[in-house]
Amino acid sequence: MAKSIYIINPAGDFPTYFTNEVHTALGLPPAATMGDLAITMVAAMLPEDFEVRLCDESVEPVDFDCDADVVAITGKVSQWGRARAIAQKFRRRGKTVVIGGPFATTLCPEAVAPYADVLVCGEIEETAEEIFSDLRSGHPKERYTGTRPELSLSPIPRWDLYPNRAAFSGSVQTSQGCPFECEYCDVIPYVGRSQRHKPVENVLRELDLLYQLGYRSVFLADDNFTAYRGRAKELLRALHKWNLRQRAGKVTFATQVSIDAANDDEEMLELLAQAGVAGVFIGIETPNEESLRETKKRQNVGVDLVEKIHRFCDRGIFVQAGMIVGFDSDGPDIFERQYEFSTRAAVPITTLGALVAPAATPLYDRMKREDQLIANGSAVTATPWSTNFIPAN
């Protein structure tokens, strides 16, 4: 029989650099920095006989009285407390609860499993048909494990079901994975080091839909947009041509890149600017080269980081710098060094956080071996007030 499903992106457990509590504090309606890609993507994989409803809790409350047969919850580590509470409440009401997302499915599945009737591990594209068929029959498995499929299998997200009026920016994923080896990064255990790319024509189709829905700002939700230079340049040329064809205003883009995108590659910087990339997030992390070596952030070693940042700024691209304190090689002077660096770099937005060791990362394994982990510590990245280990110094 046909089923109905309610797909939820929970609110964060506390404010972070990427949430919009200030919006409601000013008396304005709730808003999301960017529309949630996960729930719209899952909705696009549902069979036609499923009734579907989406909820992004950052912009609207969860409807605990909904009549859906199945409740599906996604989320990151920064949402796990709220996700758990939502799951418990719906299970008490007799709903079948499915939980997926990066925290639940790859990083800490055993912590999540007791709160789910169905746990979806890994990426869902190649398991979606089986999952929804089993839910339809009323006999789902307790766990499904996906692979790392080619992004050509990703459908166009169901943005038509999302409360687009409440999002400042749309979102398109053009690749998954990152080839670098940063010790603290949970991208690798989740989506892998071999970067997979979505066909350019598929990216443009997603942009067409977002444009029709009124978006003029789009986040390219890639782990490292410029990791593969040839592919990045091909896509940037296509974005430039696509933008030139738009008659109701051009789109500005933002994305995540590595500082090495500015390494003696004038063409890359010019193409970013021509395509309409107005801002980039760069994991600068620290001016302390010993800390960069310690954590295997080799792409940032031996370069003038301030000069590289200014190369983006010279082309009208603002840099949001991700900075971290708490490496084993950091001493008490790191705070003054971070301040001095940020003053010289003159970036408009800096996210400063204590280093954390996310589950399944090499840093977590090392901190565990060296007995530096804190019981019940927080592994939420980019928060200035908490961590889950004690740095050596």
Residues contacting 368, CB < 8 A, separation 6+: none
Average pLDDT of span 334-349: 94
Number of other CB atoms surrounding residue 332 within 10 Å: 7
Going along the chain from its start, the domains and CATH numbers come out as 4-145 (3.40.50.280), 169-369 (3.80.30.20)
Average pLDDT of span 230-250: 97
Average pLDDT of span 136-143: 95
- Cα(196)–Cα(303) distance, integer angstroms: 28
The mean pLDDT value of the chain amounts to 94
* Strands 175-176 and 196-197, bridge-based pairing: antiparallel
- Cα(186)–Cα(6) distance, integer angstroms: 28
- Is pLDDT of 1 > 90? no
Q: Quick one: which H or E segment has residue 170?
A: strand 170-172
- Is pLDDT of 162 > 80? yes
* Strands 118-121 and 51-56, bridge-based pairing: unpaired
Number of other CB atoms surrounding residue 302 within 10 Å: 9
- Is pLDDT of 54 > 80? yes
* Strands 217-220 and 170-172, bridge-based pairing: parallel
Average pLDDT of span 162-168: 96
- Cα(115)–Cα(85) distance, integer angstroms: 9
Distance of CA 281 to the CA centre of its chain: 12
Number of other CB atoms surrounding residue 292 within 10 Å: 22
Average pLDDT of span 356-381: 92
102 pLDDT band, cuts 50/70/90, is confident
- Residue 7's closest CA among 34, 43, 32? 43
Please write the tens of the pLDDT for every residue from 30-48. Answer: 999 999 999 999 999 999 9
Check residue 184 and give its pLDDT. 95
- Is pLDDT of 319 > 90? yes
Check residue 264 and give its pLDDT. 80
Going along 228-375, which residue ranges are E strands? 252-257, 277-285, 318-325, 349-354
Check residue 156 and give its pLDDT. 97
- 340's tokens: 């001095």
Give the three-state DSSP class for 392.
coil
22 pLDDT band, cuts 50/70/90, is confident
Q: Quick one: which H or E segment has residue 393?
A: none
- 216's tokens: 């003029």
What Å distances lie between residue 87 and 57, 65, 265, CA to CA? Answer: 14, 13, 48
Check residue 193 and give its pLDDT. 86
- Is pLDDT of 126 > 80? yes
Instruction: Give residue 261's region: left, alpha or beta (phi > 0; psi -120 to 50).
Output: alpha
Average pLDDT of span 277-302: 96
Check residue 377 and give its pLDDT. 86
Average pLDDT of span 71-100: 96
Spatial contact of 222 and 196, defined as CB atoms under 8 Å apart: no
